[in-house]
């Protein structure tokens, strides 16, 4: 029987891989490219980890699976909470495969916490709370991994900050090693038909060190070439390290295995932070309460007392990790809200629009949808949305060029049962070199300012490499999308494709002409009978407070 092994390189891009291959640093990825099919893989809109990986696993657009960003409003509240596996609407590819008797090993896929039962093994990935001990299925698997491999790093806590570059890179190399050793152990010991292994380090290192790699980056000039030199090859060395483990893992796989190497999105330089709520506040779409505490915070905010100021001080002192640790502590976000302007200070009865999320997302304060919505559905909603779009188009870069490159109404890109939950307006800044600062609702008192700390941002062009006996060398796949991978994986496993998936089977890369089989959708709807009790969900949400996003 055929097997499929998926290697996810979070945020990987051919913009880095091709030069590294040409320089001779990635021989194993080069071998997979040369003997198989490869192409850029389009991500979700926006190209954010939480929505993108969920589209990968379900084969559905965010309008169907319901996850649009890392954060979402809690029901009947304006408080924000991180998404989790509880919030996903739709079965993951490993759940569908398991229902057909296939054994699956899933290691490190983001937004899989809390782990859910499957026909096989799971170790959760990004968005697993710091310090959580229930990150495996079955639960005893974590002890087995600890005994066989040693410490397992679900997601590294290290962030780059001044004077900690070597510590940052060493932590990433260590987590790569432990992740690869765990994968090799599980793949060797247990039976499996579908294996999935995700390395988040390719994303983490780019966010931290793109400035050192890219001499044209504004942070490179600020830090200086001398300081950048020791870290200039940091991104390359992380890719090189992973490439070596890919070679070992692929060499150990059975001959009937198809290997897919993919990423959820690409990467590129980050130039600016855009504070969308400040723009909405300036244009009168968002109002601050007249309450004394909110007005005092607003005065302090206007004077420059902001999270951006505090974060900049921590970075300059080499204490970037302290900021992450504080954010992840229970109540850490509550402390920020206590001293800095936040959504808690918004006068919702007089606010028409607000923004949450990392890349160009605006929500209308709709009556009957938001807890204190004021904008009526229908003509008023469309009027407000059209006015917002006109105003957003007026935003300019420092050089005077338009900031917004593309802008959509949600129904232009999403479809499905969760369309109403989607941001009402989505936009892409030029070249995606500007992101909406997502650490806090009012991170700075500016509307646009040069980025700091994080030096790269996500791009739409991820990667796809396919290799195996059933894969024909194809110079160019036909515009593959992230949603295409779940149906393609099922086809490789000789399983029917659910009709409610948005993706297609990438049939042009196969050497055979086996017909694609589709299954009915009714029996493939997500089972709700195994839903967690309210007590279970409350306990998980308590753990998720460790992420710092629930006060």
Single out the residue in 425, 450, 475 at which a domain terminates: 450
Look at the block and give the residue holding tokens 């904008």. 375
Same domain, 491 and 406: no
Cα–Cα distance measured from residue 159 to residue 20, given in angstroms and rounded to the nearest whole number: 24
Which stretches of the chain drop beneath a pLDDT of 50? Answer: 322-332, 439, 521-541, 543-551
User: Is residue 551 a part of any domain in this protein?
Assistant: no
CA dist., res. 430 & res. 357, Å (int): 17
Residue 72 lies in a domain: yes
Domain coverage including residue 376: 272-450
For 52, phi and psi rounded to 5 degrees? -65, -50
Element (H, E) at 435: strand 434-436
Helices vs strands, H then E, count in the chain: 19, 21
Pull the structure tokens for residue 360. Answer: 């160009």
Element (H, E) at 62: helix 62-65
Contact between 437 and 423 under an 8 Å Cβ cutoff? The reply is: no
* 320 & 428 share domain: yes
Q: What is the DSSP letter of 370?
A: B
Candidates 115, 137, 109, 130; CA nearest to 50 is 109
Give me the pLDDT at residue 529, please: 33
212 plus 300 within the same structural domain: no
Count of structural domains within the chain: 2
Q: What are phi and psi of 5, to 5 degrees?
A: -125, 120
Sheet with 361-364, strands from edge to edge, namely 353-354, 361-364, 425-429, 404-409
Give Cβ neighbours of residue 92 (< 8 Å, ≥ 6 apart). 57, 58, 112
Asked if residue 399 is part of any domain, the answer here is yes
Q: What local confidence, expressed as pLDDT, does residue 307 receive?
A: 78
CATH number at residue 130: 3.40.720.10
CA distance 120 to 489: 17
| 114 and 195 housed in the same domain | yes
Is 102 part of a structural domain of the chain? yes
Query: In 10 A of CB 218, how many CB atoms?
Result: 17
Instruction: Give me the half-sphere count of Cα atoms (radius 13 Å) on the Cβ side of residue 462.
Output: 32
Q: 191 with 334, same domain?
A: no
* CB distance 439 to 364 below 8 Å: no
Contacts of 433 (CB under 8 A, 6+ apart): 268, 269, 270, 271, 272, 457
d(CA 68, CA 201): 22
Looking at the fold, whether 226 and 302 belong to one and the same domain comes out as no
Residues 316 and 393 grouped into a single domain: yes
Would the pTM of this model clear 0.85, i.e. be above it? yes
Whether residue 476 sits in one domain with residue 429: no
Residue 144 located in a structural domain = yes
Structure-token pair, residue 130: 């710091």
pLDDT for 321 equals: 52
87 in any annotated domain: no
Among 450, 483, 509, identify where a domain stops.
Answer: 450
- Domain membership of residue 307 (yes or no) is yes
Domain boundary among 431, 450, 469: 450
Q: What is the pLDDT of residue 325?
A: 45
Q: Residue ranges of the alpha helices (H) in 149-267?
A: 165-189, 201-213, 218-223, 225-228, 234-252
Separation CA 106–CA 197 (nearest Å): 6
| Same domain membership, residue 254 and residue 369 | no
Cβ(354)–Cβ(275) below 8 Å: no
Task: Note whether 105 and 19 are same-domain residues.
Answer: yes
Alpha carbon distances (Å) from 443 to 16, 273, 310, 329: 31, 10, 10, 19
What's residue 312's pLDDT? 63
Distance in angstroms (rounded) separating the CA atoms of residues 449 and 307: 14
Q: What is the pLDDT of residue 528?
A: 33
Residues 248 and 362 in one domain: no
- Pull the structure tokens for residue 106: 């899933």
* Cα(119)–Cα(487) distance, integer angstroms: 19
For 258-273, give one letter per residue: b (16+ CB within 10 A) or e.
Answer: bbbbbbbbbbbbbbbb
Q: Is residue 192 part of a domain?
A: yes
What does pLDDT average to over the chain?
A: 89
Do residues 264 and 276 both lie within one domain? no
């Amino acid at each position: 029987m055929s097997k499929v092994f998926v290697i996810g390189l979070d945020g990987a891009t051919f913009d880095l891989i091709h030069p590294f291959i040409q320089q001779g640093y990635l021989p194993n990825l080069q071998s997979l490219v040369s003997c198989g099919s490869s192409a850029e893989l389009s991500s979700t809109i926006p190209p954010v980890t939480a929505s993108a990986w969920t589209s990968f696993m379900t084969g559905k657009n965010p309008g169907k699976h319901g996850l649009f960003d890392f954060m979402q409003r809690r029901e009947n509240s304006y408080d924000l909470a991180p998404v989790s596996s509880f919030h996903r609407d739709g079965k993951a590819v490993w759940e569908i495969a398991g229902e057909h008797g296939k054994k699956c090993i899933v290691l490190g896929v983001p937004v899989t916490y809390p782990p859910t039962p499957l026909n096989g093994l799971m170790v959760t990935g990004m968005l697993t709370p710091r310090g959580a001990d229930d990150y495996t299925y079955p639960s005893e698997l974590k002890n087995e991994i600890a005994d066989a491999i040693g410490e397992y790093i679900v997601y590294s806590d290290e962030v780059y900050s001044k004077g900690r570059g070597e510590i940052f890179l060493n932590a990433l190399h260590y987590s790569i090693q432990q992740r690869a050793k765990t994968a090799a152990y599980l793949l060797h010991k247990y039976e499996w038909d579908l294996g999935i292994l995700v390395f988040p380090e390719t994303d983490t290192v780019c966010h931290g060190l793109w400035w050192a790699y890219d001499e044209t980056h504004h942070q490179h000039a600020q830090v200086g070439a001398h300081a950048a030199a020791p870290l200039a090859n940091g991104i390359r060395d992380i890719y090189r390290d992973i490439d070596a483990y890919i070679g070992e893992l692929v060499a150990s796989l059975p001959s009937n295995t198809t290997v897919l190497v993919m990423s959820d999105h690409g990467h590129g330089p980050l130039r600016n932070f855009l504070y969308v709520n400040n723009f909405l506040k300036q244009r009168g779409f968002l109002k601050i309460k007249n309450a004394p505490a909110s007005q005092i915070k607003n005065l302090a905010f206007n004077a420059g007392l902001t999270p951006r100021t505090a974060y900049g001080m921590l970075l300059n002192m080499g204490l970037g990790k302290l900021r992450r640790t504080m954010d992840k502590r229970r109540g850490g976000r509550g402390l920020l809200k206590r001293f800095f302007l936040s959504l808690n200070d918004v006068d919702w009865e007089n606010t028409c629009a607000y923004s949450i999320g990392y890349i160009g997302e605006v929500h209308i304060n709709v009556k009957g949808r938001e807890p204190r919505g004021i904008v009526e559905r229908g003509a008023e909603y469309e009027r407000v949305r059209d006015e917002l779009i006109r105003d957003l188009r007026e935003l300019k870069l420092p050089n005077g060029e338009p900031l917004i490159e593309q802008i959509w109404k949600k129904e232009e890109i999403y479809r499905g049962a969760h369309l109403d939950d989607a941001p009402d307006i989505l936009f892409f800044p030029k070249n995606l070199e500007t992101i909406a600062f997502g650490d806090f609702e009012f991170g700075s008192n500016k509307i646009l300012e040069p980025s700091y700390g994080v030096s790269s941002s996500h791009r739409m062009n991820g990667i796809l490499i396919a290799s195996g006996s059933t894969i024909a060398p194809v110079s160019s796949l036909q515009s593959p999308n992230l949603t295409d991978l779940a149906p393609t994986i099922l086809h490789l496993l000789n399983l029917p494709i659910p009709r409610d998936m948005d993706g297609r089977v990438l049939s042009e890369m196969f050497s055979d002409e086996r017909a694609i089989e589709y299954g009915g959708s009714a029996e493939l709807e997500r089972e709700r009978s195994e839903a967690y009790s309210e007590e279970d969900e409350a306990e998980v949400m308590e753990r998720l407070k460790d992420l710092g996003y629930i006060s």
